[in-house]
Structures are given as C-alpha cells and as structure tokens.
Amino acid sequence: MSAPLLIASDHAGFELKEHLKSTLETLGVPYRDLGTHSADSVDYPDFAHLVAAAVGAGRAERGVLVCGTGQGMVMAANRHHGVRASLPCDESTARLAREHNDSNVLALGGRVLSQEKADAILRVWLETAHLGGRHAVRVGKIEIER
C-alpha cells in the first residue's frame, strides 16, 4: 500500500479498532486513525463517510471500519462512488471479497467478532490481491452513472 490505510470506528467498535491498530503495527502496515477516540456514543455514518470519501477520491487505497455489527458501516461506505466495502464473516469471505470483488474497505463488527477472528479476517483481506480478468469486468459493472 502506498498511502496509509485508514481506520475508524464508532463507540461500539472502538475496543476492536484499538486492538486492530496493534495488529496493523505488528504487520508493519502504516495506518491513520480517523476516530472515534473513545467509547463515548457517536454516529457511525460520520466515521464511515470520512474513510469512504478518502478511498473513493483516491486519497487512500483502503480503509477499515468497525461498528457493532459492521452492517451500518458497510451500508454508509458503499454510498460513495469508487468504494467497494465488504463485510466478511470469516477468512474465506475476506479472501473472496478481495479476489473477486476488489474490496477496498473492510467492515467488521466489534460486538459479533472475537479479536482473534477479526485479526484473521483483516490479515487475509490485507494479503489477498484482486484476481483481475473476468472479475475486473464484473467489478467495473458495479458503479452506476450518477
């Protein structure tokens, strides 16, 4: 990754986000934390939009978002042009989200995943490349005209 990965969470994902930052450090992946910076209640779309806007505009290659289930973050992030946010539940779906769908934003649920499972998903998602070919053609059909 040329630019730092962006990471953000709401209050429900704060604890897992803090854990994932240490995982990124262990893996040697540079990152920028866009918040939240405490477990005080905040609105998840605010943080999803910060990360997704940067990824969609090409200011970052990839982002990681964490809320209670990951559902809110993935829905908000996917509103942005150029963002292909995924919500994998295991290593296999994380690999396929990268290989087939060229996922550039990963959403995770702090209330539904253990730290170990989230680490495993993150590692696979970071290490897996997009396959291109017929998958690139399909990915190209995701965006709609605005």
**4: burial class by Cβ within 10 Å (0-12, 13-18, 19+)?**
middle
Percent of residues, the chain, with pLDDT higher than 90: 87
Per-residue pLDDT at 84 exceeds 80:
yes
Predicted TM-score (pTM) of this structure: 0.95
pLDDT of residue 2: 63
Domains and CATH numbers, the chain: 5-140 (3.40.1400.10)
Per-residue pLDDT at 133 exceeds 90:
no
Helix (H, G, I), strand (E, B) or coil at 24: helix
Secondary structure tally for the chain: helices H, strands E: 6, 5
- The answer to whether residue 89 is catalytic is no
Catalytic residue among 19, 49, 100, 135: 100
Judge whether 36 and 8 are in contact, CB under 8 Å.
yes
Dmax (CA) of the chain? 45
- CA dihedral defined by 8, 13, 19, 22, rounded to 10 degrees? 0
d(CA 107, CA 85) in angstroms, rounded, equals 7
d(CA 81, CA 39) in angstroms, rounded, equals 30
Percent of residues, the chain, with pLDDT higher than 70: 98
- The answer to whether residue 81 is catalytic is no
The per-residue pLDDT of the chain, averaged, comes to: 95
Confidence band of 74 (pLDDT split at 50, 70, 90): very high
Q: Which of 30-34, 92-96, 139-143 has the lowest mean pLDDT?
A: 139-143
pLDDT of residue 142: 83
Element (H, E) at 108: strand 105-109
